Amino acid sequence: MTSSGLSQYKQAKIVEKLTSNLDETDIEADFDEESYNQLDDAHKIQVDDAIREFADDAVGSEHWDSDE
């Protein structure tokens, strides 16, 4: 068990669930924050990175949110 109380396997399944259909999900409306909050920091980073990568690809630039 991790500090989040969930096994690595269960956390990996949550990460998979949260990231597998990003292109079909309205992140604002459909994101399962309760599941996300059960993750330890390392798994949250995985989800955050996947969402960031999706946004970068959707916009066509990894600098879309900078002031440059």
- What pLDDT, in 10s, does the model give residues 23-32? 776 767 778 8
CB 7 within 8 A of CB 1: yes
For residue range 24-62, list pLDDT tens digits in order: 767 677 788 999 999 999 999 999 999 999 888 888 877
Tokens of 66: 């900078």
Cβ(12)–Cβ(49) below 8 Å: no
Contact between residue 35 and residue 18 where contact means Cβ atoms under 8 Å apart = yes
Indicate the pTM of the whole model: 0.77
